[in-house]
Structure 1
Amino acid sequence: MDRLSNTVRPYAWGSTTAIPELLGVAPTGEPQAEMWLGAHPGAPSRLDRGTSTSVDTGESTDKGKGAGAGAGEGSGSGEQPLSAVIDADPEAELGAAAVRKFGPRLPFLLKLLAAGSPLSLQVHPDLAQAREGYEREERQGVPVDAPHRNYKDANHKPELICALTPFDGLCGFRAPEQAADLLAGLAVDSLEPYADVLRAHPEEAALREVLTAVLTADPAEMAATVTEAAAAAGRLGGAYEPYATIAHHYPGDPGVIAAMLLNHVRLQPGEALFLGAGVPHAYLNGLGVEIMANSDNVLRCGLTPKHVDVPELLRIVRFETTEPNILRPEASGTGEEVYETPIDEFRLSRYVLAPGADPRDLTTAGPQILLCTAGAPRTNGLGLAPGGAVFVPAGETTELSGTGTIFRATVVV
């Protein structure tokens, strides 16, 4: 078992306070958007096999608290990337069954995500689409780091977000009639044709036609429409409040109108949302634990200065009404609360340990990352504070004790 040091990514949409408050450190004044836990090449976690397996009392804040184990502020001289440790002996770290099923790489990426402002409106490809898109761009010679590249790898990117605070997001298309009512309620003349299409056409055709029209409209005309719609949303409040907020952060962006086609969702702490391929979505505000397949494939619909490839986006989006499926953890007799998804690359669960609770056996055949979000639990004698995490190789005997909340990320083999 290895204590992890993890990198915090300073994306502009990140909260300046949420992750520091969880870690128990002073804010820097800069946005702190995501803390990555895993072996993704963009920011792999680090570990020190020379010292991190030793038992401690949990009283040494150097490695037990967020500044050392959570925030990624520097690294010890003996630290090495988790990716390098796995590459050196995949079967020992991941287990033979996981290597056979997923290959010699950790198949998931775990994150703490802190949204202070809306993220881009986006969608992810399924596995076949990702493979085809990646191979196509490779044949075309598009550099993998090019701003206009859509497919960074050949993998899909299903994901699950579990709220630690009240968490707002957009997920899946509303019924066209509901979207038409929302647009019509703004009383903006230039939105009336969209509302008419949503009411007059079959579901798939209506959603496709309106999203296409919004994303391909004359930029100046659409910016004027968004400005007028944002002012109306601000006056009306209520159901329109999220869109007024989005427009405040992205003035004139066509994604503001596209967002009105989607369901607004508010998660309470402990609730989660699974996002599969082809489902348009965006996170708006809040702190959560996110887990995803180890991929960086994103096709954007708006709310971003980054590249928007409209034809490819329209090929990937599933134009169907989706009722957001809010997940609540399913308790088991072992104390594990599981967030059930149809994905094998990751499995997220939670342990909430009350004072005096019996130790829990977490030994499993696959790799694990254990992340503390509250209290002072212990794993095999290692004390963890909020934001602290450990990597557990496959098959290693693992006991969880103490009090607090632990999120467990592993695989299905």
Structure 2
Amino acid sequence: MASIYRLQCKTQSYDWGKLGDVSKVAAYAKASGTAVDNDKPYAELWMGTHPNAPSIVMDDKNTSLRDLVKDNVNLSTKAVYEQYNSDLPFLFKILSIRKALSIQAHPDKTLGARLFKEFPQIYKDPNHKPEMAVALTPFEALCGFRPLEEIAKHMETYPELAELIGNDICNEFRSRVKDNGSSTSEGDIAQNKELLKKVFAGLMTSSEEEVKKLLSKLIARLNDSKADDTISKLLIRLDQQYPGGDVGVFSSLMLNYVVMEPGQAIFLGANEPHAYLSGDCVECMAASDNVVRAGLTPKFKDVDVLVNMLTYRYGSAESQKMTPVKFADHSNLYDPPIDEFAVIWTKLNGGETEKHQSIEGPSILIVTSGSGKLSGETDKNTFDLKEGYVYFVGANTPIVAEAAESGLEFYRAYSVATN
């Protein structure tokens, strides 16, 4: 049977998405026949079997990818098929971000199962949701807690933050950081995390009235002083995007501000705070939609769950970035420390070719720029590669990609069995 199938993938329209004429999500969706409205925000393109936006095989029957995978065990391998209940374990996405997403974290499997059992109307499945983002364009995010020294400094530079958290807690924190902030002993790190949790809880559980009053005071002060540093400009921008006093604006003083160039990546494990701010990225995650939010959002905020679930790891912005390894001559592999997925980035100049050896599991690839041809050694057909084209590739299928004169760039997510 065939092992390579072209897919039509669905978009999600959220308020934070880029408008149609500048959204990569819209451009890629248009390539497979989706009509695009240039006044509508196109936030996400979903590639996979998730029931909220399932991909469709572009054949005469409009077969769902879910049915294709379920009905053909060899496309996954028996091991992957059994480990993930005849489904794909990952959801592959393109995101186009016009304004900041919510400050959020994703539960681990234990917490995900409990939240699903207790609040199924909010948390829709029992799975965890580790995720990885690879920048397609210059990309900004908040990711993980800043070094403790930076947080302590922000309490002084932005006194409104200290007033909101409580000066007693902030004084305790600054004293602790001065004495033990850079300690590498396990005991000191554990105590530092406990105090960091106390500080973050003080911030996130502040009254709406206090947040609104102090944020208004902070933004007015920054505008009056014509503050031009990166963090102050970020605070002003986030306040403009979420006016009315959102505690998430203050959170950016505690979380790392990460800037990525195309091809750079971050991995967001369970129980780690983050928020995407702007740009376009390729994202891959475990097949779940569980999100615990606590800021920069009009949606339901589950502050107590978020405060208690976080790991409170702290470190530099650069430490949040992943280091890829070589996969083939023109390909890099991003392989996060989880079972469900890894992602390959292939970039070819005009006329170059690249071979991917067979992978013992299913994969999905999307062309993000350029054009060319795709062939598989177990599939006699040749397939067009154009910007926005998406293909499902069955397990154990070596593929060869050849770039046209314009060059070629594509990303490929895959999963293999771990049992």
What TM-score, normalized by structure 1, do the two folds share?
0.85
How big is each residue's C-alpha offset from its partner over 1:51-97, in whole Å with a ceiling of 9 and x where there is no partner? xxxxxxxxxxxxxxxxxxxxxxxxxxx313212222333x2332112
User: Which of 4, 12, 35 does residue 7 from structure 2 map onto?
Assistant: 4
Counterpart of 2:358 in structure 1: which amino acid? T
Q: Distance in 1 between matches of 2:62 and 2:172?
A: 58
Deviation larger for 30-39 or 226-235: 226-235
- State how 1:155-194 maps to structure 2 within 5 Å: 155-188=127-160, 190-191=163-164, 193=167
Aligned to 1:343: 338
Q: Aligned pairs, how many? A: 375
Q: Aligned to 2:402, what secondary structure does the other structure show?
A: strand
Q: Distance in 2 between matches of 1:280 and 1:119?
A: 12
Q: Distance in 2 between matches of 1:108 and 1:233?
A: 43
Q: Distance in 1 between matches of 2:30 and 2:323?
A: 27
Unaligned runs of 5+ in 1: 51-77
1:111 to 2:104 alignment: no
- Cα RMSD for the two superposed structures: 2.1
The change in CA–CA distance for 1:217 and 1:325 in structure 2 (over 3 A counts) is closer
Q: Aligned to 2:173, what secondary structure does the other structure show?
A: helix
Counterpart of 1:121 in structure 2: which amino acid? I
Deviation larger for 97-106 or 280-289: 97-106
The change in CA–CA distance for 1:232 and 1:330 in structure 2 (over 3 A counts) is farther
1:132 to 2:114 alignment: yes
User: Which of 305, 313, 329 does residue 306 from structure 2 map onto?
Assistant: 313
Q: Aligned to 1:247, what secondary structure does the other structure show?
A: helix
Counterpart of 1:196 in structure 2: which amino acid? N
The change in CA–CA distance for 1:409 and 1:7 in structure 2 (over 3 A counts) is same
Aligned to 1:75: none
Please tell me whether the aligned partners of residues 129 and 289 of structure 2 are also in contact (alpha carbons under 8 angstroms). yes
User: Which of 269, 291, 295 does residue 298 from structure 1 map onto?
Assistant: 291
Please tell me whether the aligned partners of residues 143 and 320 of structure 2 are also in contact (alpha carbons under 8 angstroms). no
Question: How high is the sequence identity, in percent, across the aligned residues?
Answer: 32
Note the C-alpha offset of 1:224. Answer: 1.0
Note the C-alpha offset of 1:282. Answer: 0.2
The change in CA–CA distance for 1:232 and 1:2 in structure 2 (over 3 A counts) is farther
User: Which of 251, 267, 276 does residue 274 from structure 1 map onto?
Assistant: 267
Aligned to 2:359: 364
How big is each residue's C-alpha offset from its partner over 1:253-308, in whole Å with a ceiling of 9 and x where there is no partner? 11111221101000001100111111100000000100011111111121111111
User: Which of 55, 62, 65 does residue 79 from structure 1 map onto?
Assistant: 62
Counterpart of 1:190 in structure 2: which amino acid? E
Higher strand share: 2
Q: Distance in 1 between matches of 2:51 and 2:204?
A: 33
Please tell me whether the aligned partners of residues 186 and 233 of structure 1 are also in contact (alpha carbons under 8 angstroms). no
Aligned to 1:199: 174
Counterpart of 2:340 in structure 1: which amino acid? E
Deviation larger for 24-33 or 244-253: 24-33
Note the C-alpha offset of 1:334. Answer: 4.4
Note the C-alpha offset of 1:184. Answer: 2.1
Note the C-alpha offset of 1:364. Answer: 2.0
Q: Aligned to 1:2, what secondary structure does the other structure show?
A: strand
Q: Distance in 2 between matches of 1:231 and 1:283?
A: 25
1:33 to 2:43 alignment: yes
Q: Distance in 1 between matches of 2:353 and 2:100?
A: 41
1:100 to 2:82 alignment: yes
Please tell me whether the aligned partners of residues 125 and 277 of structure 1 are also in contact (alpha carbons under 8 angstroms). yes
Q: Distance in 2 between matches of 1:233 and 1:97?
A: 57
Deviation larger for 33-42 or 355-364: 355-364
Note the C-alpha offset of 1:165. Answer: 0.6
- State how 1:40-79 maps to structure 2 within 5 Å: 40-50=50-60, 78-79=61-62
Aligned to 1:253: 246
Aligned to 1:329: 324
Note the C-alpha offset of 1:4. Answer: 0.8
Q: Aligned to 1:199, what secondary structure does the other structure show?
A: helix
1:409 to 2:413 alignment: yes
Q: Distance in 2 between matches of 1:229 and 1:328?
A: 37
Aligned to 2:18: 15
Q: Aligned to 1:196, what secondary structure does the other structure show?
A: helix
How big is each residue's C-alpha offset from its partner over 1:149-189, in whole Å with a ceiling of 9 and x where there is no partner? 2x321111111100011100000011233112123213437
What TM-score, normalized by structure 2, do the two folds share?
0.84
Q: Distance in 2 between matches of 1:6 and 1:285?
A: 23
Q: Distance in 2 between matches of 1:303 and 1:233?
A: 20
Please tell me whether the aligned partners of residues 367 and 386 of structure 2 are also in contact (alpha carbons under 8 angstroms). yes
Q: Distance in 2 between matches of 1:300 and 1:198?
A: 25
Q: Distance in 2 between matches of 1:102 and 1:197?
A: 47
Counterpart of 1:392 in structure 2: which amino acid? V
